[in-house]
């Protein structure tokens, strides 16, 4: 048996359960989201399947497990839940309290015991972190920065919804964190955005991306109205007006009747049509009253997005006092529009966000938090790859295809590239499944659906016939490192674009060239692809560029609406045959319909 010792990080109990495996030197080996195995999106259960996968693959046992780390402090969280119970009315208690008691008694009150029993290890081997510390450490240790400023923002952890400060690693790799400010629950920019998501008829903890995508179809003419939902919008000192929100109780909704009365329009019914503006108005003046009502929900989304990004940026700017390097973490930093604005301000020389910025990434962060709390010297390493998920060999792939009587082609690498480019230029849609899966919500070329971005109707084709999602939602462009600046106005700090974490303007000369990946406001959530990071995807984009003079592809995740990204050979084949995808590239093998 190998002498290698491992540290396991776990996140579960609320949403986006995950498992991370590191060695005792701090090297990130693998990370798996439970949803990829269970096929339940945002699965919150104990990550049984992903943990068992790692246990079997690495023969994990009490002998080679150095520590298992849980991402938050259950006792501190219980204090907040107790306050919510105390603030609830009898009806809320009657409907929700039994479920909460069952949930806490089963997995949340003492997750340490559950972990120890499942892995057959001593309780002393289980470490509990704190929620925002786990968020923070996921980004600190993967930043490569010896020192810098930091900000965490999410919905809520135990008692806090955000922290700000600065940090430094000494020459040995020992970390010191200086926390200067904390935002106390229920004041939360993340929960505010969740409430907006609910009001606009989208699923909470899933539809926030939709709000961001909807916003450019409206005009931010309701900002002053939205500001009334706050007592203060002064950056990290923000305060929500509690009369408009139900966060502090057990209510199933996050908004109150006062919220609806103030806004003046009822919540949008899920799946109901949304009127979209064809063009952004140059001014919010002179909008006809009928148009104001017709486009209200799009305009409301635009107004909330505008206020949120202003609050985020005003929370960050004072941190420049501590450093010209910045580390961000927490689900709020999935807001790629705000991230793009921050980069274009140029206030910081370098900015890092762990790509799985939400709770999925806290499994990674909890392991690093253990190193921090135990004073173990681990020097920060710049994240170079997020391809740390499951993979399958070519032999496994061929065996699977033969077992299922699937016809496929054996081609050389260059022949494969040529046939894929042929398909793209023939307006076909391709699914890519190769190498190790990406960690996080973004597909970055290994579990992707791709198409030519040059066709005006390609966005609608992929949305309607393959992804089965709202037609207003944009798709991302993936461009090679050398050519990206030709099409996009990219800020000096480029690292976030490697992981599709920020938007940028599409250059005016090329918006018409890339209609399928250019959003209505002429922006794009760009992925920059380098040869060292993803050689195959880079080669494919390059070959497409040689053929068409366009070194960019449309890239979206390989899944359909409501399902996690595909993670197994079976998932890939099932989704391929259930949709109008034309070609599947499966670990070097081409399959066509």
Angle between helices 189-199 and 296-316 (to 10 degrees): 170
Rounded-to-integer distance, Cα 169 and Cα 468, Å? 47
The 10s digit of each residue's pLDDT in 438-496 is: 999 999 999 999 999 999 999 999 998 899 888 889 999 999 999 999 999 999 999 99
- Based on C-alpha coordinates, what's the Rg of the chain? 24
pLDDT above 90: residue 251: no
What's the Cα-to-Cα distance from 23 to each of 3, 4, 49, 224, 265, rounded to whole Å?
11, 7, 21, 51, 53
Classify burial at 278, counting beta carbons within 10 Å of its beta carbon; exposed 0-12, middle 13-18, buried 19 or more. exposed
Contact (Cβ atoms closer than 8 angstroms) between residue 231 and residue 216: no
pTM for this one? Answer: 0.95
The terminus-to-terminus CA distance of the chain in angstroms comes to: 45
DSSP 176: E
Contact (Cβ atoms closer than 8 angstroms) between residue 447 and residue 565: yes
- HSE of 375, CA atoms in CB hemisphere, 13 A: 0
Give the residue range(s) of CATH 3.90.870.20 domains in the chain: 394-592
Task: Identify the H or E element spanning 85.
Answer: helix 74-86
DSSP 151: E
Which CATH number is 6-132+359-373's, of 3.30.420.40, 3.30.70.3460, 3.30.10.20, 3.40.50.9100?
3.30.420.40
110-124, 239-253, 478-492: segment of lowest average pLDDT = 239-253
Question: Quick one: the chain helix, strand, coil %, rounded to 5?
Answer: 40, 20, 40
pLDDT above 60: residue 280: no
Rounded-to-integer distance, Cα 447 and Cα 388, Å? 12
CATH architecture of 394-592: Alpha-Beta Complex (3.90)
Rounded-to-integer distance, Cα 491 and Cα 505, Å? 10
Tell me which residue of 280, 197, 277 sits closest to 523, measured CA to CA: 280
pLDDT range class, residue 93, cuts 50, 70, 90? low
State the sign of the Cα–Cα–Cα–Cα dihedral 458, 464, 467, 471: positive
The 10s digit of each residue's pLDDT in 128-159 is: 999 999 999 999 999 999 999 999 999 999 99
Q: Which string of DSSP letters, residue by residue, matches 12-38?
A: -SSSS-EEEEEETT--EEEEEEHHHHH
Rounded-to-integer distance, Cα 564 and Cα 477, Å? 21
Phi, psi of 570 (to 5 degrees): -65, -45
Give the residue range(s) of CATH 3.30.420.40 domains in the chain: 6-132+359-373
Task: Identify the H or E element spanning 593.
Answer: none
Tokens of 42: 């945002």
Q: Which region holds residue 45: left if phi is over 0, alpha if psi is between -120 and 50, else beta?
A: beta
Rounded-to-integer distance, Cα 337 and Cα 356, Å? 16
The 10s digit of each residue's pLDDT in 346-393 is: 999 999 999 999 999 999 999 999 999 999 999 999 998 999 999 999
pLDDT range class, residue 82, cuts 50, 70, 90? confident
The 10s digit of each residue's pLDDT in 525-534 is: 999 999 999 9
Q: How many CB atoms lie within 10 A of CB 277?
A: 18
Rounded-to-integer distance, Cα 153 and Cα 148, Å? 17
The 10s digit of each residue's pLDDT in 308-352 is: 999 999 999 999 999 999 999 999 999 999 999 999 999 999 999
């Amino acid at each position: 048996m190998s002498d290698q010792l491992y540290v396991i990080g776990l996140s579960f109990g609320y949403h986006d359960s995950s498992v991370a495996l590191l060695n005792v030197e701090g090297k990130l080996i693998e990370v798996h989201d439970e949803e990829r195995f269970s096929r339940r999106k945002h699965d919150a259960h104990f990550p049984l399947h992903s943990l068992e996968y790692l246990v079997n693959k690495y023969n994990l046992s009490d002998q080679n497990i150095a520590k298992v780390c849980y991402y938050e402090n259950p006792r501190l969280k219980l204090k907040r839940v107790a306050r919510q119970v105390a603030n609830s009315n009898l009806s809320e208690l009657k409907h929700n309290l039994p479920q909460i008691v069952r949930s806490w008694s089963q997995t949340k009150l003492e997750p340490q015991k559950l972990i120890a029993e499942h892995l057959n290890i001593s309780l002393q081997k289980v470490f509990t972190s704190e929620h925002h510390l786990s968020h923070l450490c996921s980004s600190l240790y993967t930043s490569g920065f010896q020192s810098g400023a930091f900000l965490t923002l999410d919905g809520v952890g135990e008692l806090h919804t955000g922290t700000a400060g600065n940090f430094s690693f000494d020459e040995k790799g020992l970390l010191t964190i200086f926390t200067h400010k904390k935002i106390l629950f229920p004041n939360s920019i993340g929960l505010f955005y969740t409430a907006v998501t609910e009001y606009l008829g989208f699923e909470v903890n899933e539809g926030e991306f939709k709000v961001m995508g909807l916003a450019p179809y409206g005009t931010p003419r309701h900002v002053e109205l939205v500001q009334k939902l706050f007592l203060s919008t002064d950056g990290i000192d923000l305060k929500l007006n509690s009369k408009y929100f139900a966060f502090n109780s057990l209510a199933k909704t996050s908004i109150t009747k006062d919220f609806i009365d103030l806004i003046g329009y009822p919540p949008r019914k899920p799946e109901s049509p949304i009127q979209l503006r064809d063009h952004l108005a140059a001014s919010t003046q002179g909008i006809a009253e009928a148009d104001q009502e017709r486009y209200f929900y799009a305009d409301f989304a635009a107004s909330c997005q505008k206020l949120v990004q202003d609050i985020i940026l005003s929370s960050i700017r004072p941190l420049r006092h501590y450093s010209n390097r910045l580390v961000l973490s927490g689900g709020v930093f999935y807001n790629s529009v705000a991230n793009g604005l921050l980069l274009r301000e140029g206030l910081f020389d370098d900015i890092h966000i762990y790509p799985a910025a939400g709770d999925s990434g806290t499994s990674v962060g909890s392991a690093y938090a253990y190193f921090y709390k135990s004073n173990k010297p681990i020097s920060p390493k710049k994240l170079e790859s997020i391809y740390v998920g499951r993979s399958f060999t070519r032999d496994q792939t061929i065996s699977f295809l033969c077992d299922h009587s699937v016809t496929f082609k054996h081609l050389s690498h260059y022949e494969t590239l040529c046939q894929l480019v042929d398909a793209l230029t023939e307006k076909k849609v391709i699914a890519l499944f190769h190498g190790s899966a990406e960690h996080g919500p973004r597909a970055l070329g290994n579990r992707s659906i791709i198409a030519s971005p040059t066709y005006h109707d390609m966005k609608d084709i992929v949305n309607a016939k393959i992804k089965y999602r709202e037609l207003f939602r944009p798709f991302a462009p993936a461009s090679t490192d050398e050519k990206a600046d030709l099409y996009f106005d990219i800020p000096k700090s480029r690292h976030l674009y490697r992981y599709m974490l920020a938007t940028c303007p599409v250059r005016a000369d090329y918006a018409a060239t890339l209609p399928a990946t250019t959003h209505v406001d002429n922006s794009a959530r760009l992925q920059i692809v380098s040869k060292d990071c993803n050689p195959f995807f880079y080669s494919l984009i390059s070959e497409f560029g040689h053929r068409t003079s366009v070194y960019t592809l449309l890239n979206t995740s390989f899944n359909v609406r409501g399902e996690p990204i595909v993670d197994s050979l079976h998932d890939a084949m099932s989704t391929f045959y259930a949709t109008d995808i034309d070609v599947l590239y499966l670990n070097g093998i081409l399959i066509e319909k």
